[in-house]
Every structure is written in C-alpha cells, then in structure tokens.
Structure 1
Amino acid sequence: MAAVVSIGTVRAHLLAARLAGTVATTRERSLRSYRLFAAGDPRALIGIDPERNWSVRDLIELMAEKCGVSADPADTSGHDVIDPELTLAALGAFAERVAEVGGRGGSVLLGTGHPHRLLGFYADLADALSAAGCEILTPARGRCVDITTRFGLRTHILDYVRGVALVRALDAERPGCEPGAHTHSPLPVRTALAAAAERGGALPELVIGDHGWVCGAGQLGFEAIGLADTDDPAPFVGEAEGVVSVVVPLDDGVRSDYYRPLTRYVLKQACLSQ
C-alpha cells in the first residue's frame, strides 16, 4: 500500500474510513458517557480528576468544540460527526510533540486500552522513536493489575508488544496469543509509572496512548498525548484543563489497518519517517 502523507489524502482517508465525518459512535452512547462523567462516575472519568464541575451541557459544548459533534442538547439520536479539520489540526499538534521528544531522544511510554484496533498505530510510533534514539520504556511487565469490569473485579497482566503496553486477562485460554483486553482503566498506567519510579530509572518524558493511559498519566503530571472517540469526554476535559497536552478526535473502533496512514502522516510531519 502506497504511503499516504499529504494533508489532502489524509483528509480523504479520514472520511472514507469513517475515522471522521459521520462515525459509528452513536449520539445515545456519547450522551450516556457525558451523563456518567458529569455524575463523577469513575467509568467515565478514567483517571481524570476535573478541577471544575462539568454539566452535561458543558460537555456537549466542549465536545462540539473539540470534535465537531452536534452542540444541540436536543439532538439525542443518530450517529456522531467528527470534523476532519479538527482531527487534522490535532494530528499536527500530536506530531509536534512526537517530533520534540524524538529530536532530543527522550524517554517514552506508550500504552493502549484498545489493542485490537490501535496497537499497530502505537507500535509503529514506538519503532520510529526508538530508531531516533528514544528510550521506549517497559516498566512493570508481568505485574498483576486488578481492574473492575462489568463482570466484577478481574485480574489482568501488564504486558508489552513491540514496546506498547496493554493488559491481558489472567484467565485467558491462550495467554500471550490474544491481542489484549479492552480497558478504560487508569490502573495499568499507574502501575507502570509506579514501577518506573521504584526502580529509580528513567521516567517518561512523554506518554502516548488512549483511555486511562493518557488520562491517568496526565493527571499524575506527565506530559500525555493520545487519541479519543466522541464517547470519551475525559481526555478532552483533561486537555481543556491543561492536564493532557493533545487529544486527536477520531473513531477508535475501525479496522486496525485504517490507522496506518495516520501513523505515516504523523511520522512524516515529525520528520521521523522510516
């Protein structure tokens, strides 16, 4: 597949792959997340401790500004819309942070709660940053992390694939073979950062991820950048309050290969193309 690097081709790809434009995420699902966040539910906060009280109306306005979703509270059904221009602008800012840490050979921690979809995106970034002289951190490999799920408390194992952290279910039938578990929890990144501090080695100068990885790291004072869908208000609140540096709005549930052009675009903008 030919490299997709120009802004025009990336814009077209965003719309064709439904990474932006009309996306699969429903308005009903997003509004439910906004209500949970406004109520202080940890399932929606995913590591963010907001400085102010965010009402549902506040969140709708924020998400309209950051993502391009409808700003009308009376709009309660259908599919969300992400403005591709906002995605492109955020990808540019994301690339600037990647370029900055890559240029100085800094230490980076990458992690995902969406390994089925986003592992390749982060792994390609990890490869390029490593080639640029960055230290890709892998603290707490093999540590147990107890995460509350809809099925109750479940123990997971923190693992790394191509330099990208994820968690695996402890009771997986074929440990190490499944792509990893989907989670919004900030506990994995807290575990990883605590282990890095305990061993007295390098701490990340930049954390790249999604869900609890970007929110949990940002809340602890680490520079964090990442990706988020319209039903995840927490990273955007973190960005609005200065806790998270950059959040790229896009659908985080499309086919994994649809994210590869975005990786190539980021690396080209960051002058880290391999």
Structure 2
Amino acid sequence: MVSVGALRAHLVGVGIAGPVATTRERSLRSYRLFAAGDPRQTLGLDPGRTWTPSDVLGLMADQCGVSPDPRHISGQDVIDPDLTLAGLDAFAARLRQAARHREPVLLGTGHPQRLLGFYAGLAAALSAAGCPVLTPSHGRRVDMPTQFGLRPHNLRYVGGVAVLRDAPGEGARGAPGVHTHSPLPVRVALAGAATRGGPLPSLVVGDHGWVCGAGQLGIEAMGLADSDDPAVFVAQAEGRVSVVVPLDDAVRSDYYRPLTRYVLNRACLSQ
C-alpha cells in the first residue's frame, strides 16, 4: 500500500508534481492558443463561452497550481502536488463506482510512451472486477491531418488501452504508439461502437483528445492533464469532464507505477 505521504514525496521527487519540466513559456503559449480557438489546444472541445488568456491562467492557477501572476513568464512551471493527490482520490472514487456497477469503460491515451502502463493497470483491474473494457474499431484506419497532408494511422488496443499507431510502413516497428492530442481516435472508437450496436462506454478514461473528445460528445470522461493542457481543465469547469488529475504527463513511464497502485488501492481494486 502506498501512503499519502510517500506518494506526495514521490510526485515531487520525480517531477510529476511540484516544479515540473513543462516551461512557463510553453504553458502561457498554450493558454493563448486555447483562447484563440486553435484546434491544437482545444483538443476537440467546443467551449461553452469565451475564455480569455487571463481567464485560462486563473483557472489553471486554481485547478493545477501554476502561478497566477501574468508577469511570471519564464522558468519551470509548478503543479501543486496536493491538487494531484486530490485528483487521484476523485479518480479512484469514480473507478470504484464503475466497478461496483460493472460499467462499460473505454480507455485511450495520446501519450503511449509514458502513460500506457498506468492505463493498462486500470484496464486489467476493471476487467477483473467485471467491467466490460471496450475495444471498438480495433485496427480501424484513422487519417490524421499534418502540415504535409493526411498521414494514415491505425487504432489499436494494447492491454485494453487504445493507442494510435503508424500504418504499416509509416513508422518505427515495435513502438507502443504515437503521441497525439487529436480527438479523432476517440471519435472513431465511439462511432465503431455505435455502428455495431454498442455497448457504448459509460466512462472514458484517458488524456488529451480522448477526454475532451468524449466529453464534447456527452460521454462522461476523466483523465490526466499537464499544466500546458488547458482544454481538459476548461472541459471540467464547464461540466464536460468529471475528474482531472493535474500532473506532468511526460516523465519516465515507471514513475507512474506508484500512482497506479495508489488509485487501485483507493478504488478497492488492488489485485
């Protein structure tokens, strides 16, 4: 069992929370782009109101722990580890509810190199508890727009977790998946589930476009988000996402293992 104190020390010690690798410049740029409606930052979310950069900064200070001072424009960003812990507790409570009612769950990540193990641990525990862990549209082609035109990918499931992989001949063999912020993968997955007559997920768990894309379509979603991912926090503020855990989403994959153990223990899903 991972204690709260030990986990808090771990979060700060490995840079998941506290001073993180994300720079202040990068975060502020993301807030400006989100406010301008740039799809690279809206992640499939259509905000319900106008958000100015100042509004976004205020929200991120409250929900993530970054500095609220607009004059602070350089250096490392900061994520409040106590907000991370609170988010993990809420995350675990929702998973416990899903397991109790054996709800169908869809898991997906745009950060497979870092977060696949975290989500796969949840998928295994939910499946063992009797939850249908959905894998709709497995192998379906997803054409992703780039500055050079459409690039073909395939939707795949690894350990019950959806990831986007380069189409054959397009990328490195053996890679766990590609990094993406796009909502297209979750749209393809949900469309596949609907076409086959379901079941549709009661809950989507993930990050980036997986969370915002599902929430925009009216499906409950929760997940992880970095200090430069304002769309996920805005989606929560507008009631489109139920739980957001603020953390650095790009540290070593093994650093997230204590988080998996903590969440599963709190959710009464430890195996």
2: distance between equivalents of 1:25 and 1:152?
29
2: distance between equivalents of 1:190 and 1:132?
27
State the partner residue of 1:253.
250
After superposition, the C-alpha distances for 1:194-227 in whole angstroms (9 at most, x for unaligned) are: 1100100211011000000011001101110100
State the partner residue of 1:10.
7
State the partner residue of 1:168.
165
* AA of the residue aligned to 1:244: V
SS in 2 for 1:135: coil
The gaps in structure 1 that reach 5 residues or longer are: none
**1:178 Cα offset (Å):** 1.1
* AA of the residue aligned to 2:250: G
Classify 1:95/1:150 alpha carbon distance in 2 versus 1 (closer, same or farther; 3 Å). farther
Does 2:86 align with 1:89? yes
2: distance between equivalents of 1:210 and 1:235?
8
After superposition, the C-alpha distances for 1:44-101 in whole angstroms (9 at most, x for unaligned) are: 0001110010000000000000110010111110010000000000110010110000
* AA of the residue aligned to 2:220: E
Q: Within 5 Å, which residues of 2 pair with 1:158-197?
A: 158-170=155-167, 171-173=169-171, 175=173, 177-197=174-194
* AA of the residue aligned to 1:211: H
SS in 2 for 1:136: coil
Q: Within 5 Å, which residues of 2 pair with 1:103-252?
A: 103-170=100-167, 171-173=169-171, 175=173, 177-252=174-249
The gaps in structure 2 that reach 5 residues or longer are: none
* AA of the residue aligned to 2:70: P
Does 2:16 align with 1:28? no
* AA of the residue aligned to 1:102: A
SS in 1 for 2:269: coil
SS in 2 for 1:216: helix
**1:151 Cα offset (Å):** 4.6
SS in 1 for 2:265: helix
Root-mean-square deviation over aligned CA pairs: 1.0
SS in 2 for 1:37: helix
Classify 1:180/1:12 alpha carbon distance in 2 versus 1 (closer, same or farther; 3 Å). same
Classify 1:83/1:174 alpha carbon distance in 2 versus 1 (closer, same or farther; 3 Å). closer
**1:150 Cα offset (Å):** 4.8
Tell me how many residue pairs correspond in the alignment: 270
SS in 2 for 1:225: strand
Q: TM-score, normalised by structure 2?
A: 0.98
Q: Within 5 Å, which residues of 2 pair with 1:25-104?
A: 25-104=22-101
2: distance between equivalents of 1:150 and 1:161?
28
**1:36 Cα offset (Å):** 0.7
2: distance between equivalents of 1:28 and 1:151?
27
After superposition, the C-alpha distances for 1:200-256 in whole angstroms (9 at most, x for unaligned) are: 021101100000001100110111010000001000000000000000000000000
* AA of the residue aligned to 1:14: L
**1:128 Cα offset (Å):** 0.2
1: distance between equivalents of 2:172 and 2:31?
36
SS in 2 for 1:85: helix
1: distance between equivalents of 2:227 and 2:129?
33
2: distance between equivalents of 1:131 and 1:158?
24
